[in-house]
Amino acid sequence: MICLDNLSPEDLLLLSNAVAISLSKDKDANEINVLGNFLVGTGSLMLIIAAQQQLLLSLKQDNTTT
């Protein structure tokens, strides 16, 4: 797996562009819509997980410093 923390913002942009083009190739508009919405939904859930992890870590750090 690619280590995303080693990519520059420009490299990440190029990677996302290449992935989008690759996943869309030979698919009709309906298939691209379903796949795009699936990826957006998955990304939203990942952001919820990350936000909750950050909140719990922050609360844990606050409890250890007081």
pLDDT tens, position by position, 29-65: 999 999 999 999 999 999 999 999 999 999 999 998 8
Query: 3: pLDDT confidence band, cut at 50, 70 and 90?
Result: confident
C-alpha angle 58-4-47 in degrees, rounded to nearest 5: 45
pTM for the whole structure: 0.78
Judged by phi (left if over 0) then psi (alpha if -120 to 50, else beta), residue 26 lies in left
Domain holding 47, by residue range, is 28-66
> What count of other Cβ atoms lies within 10 Å of the Cβ of residue 36?
13
Q: Is residue 54 part of a domain?
A: yes
Q: Is residue 60 part of a domain?
A: yes
Tell me how far apart the alpha carbons of residues 38 and 58 are, in angstroms, rounded to a whole number: 30
* Torsion sign, CA atoms 11, 15, 18, 21: negative
Question: How many domains does the chain divide into?
Answer: 1
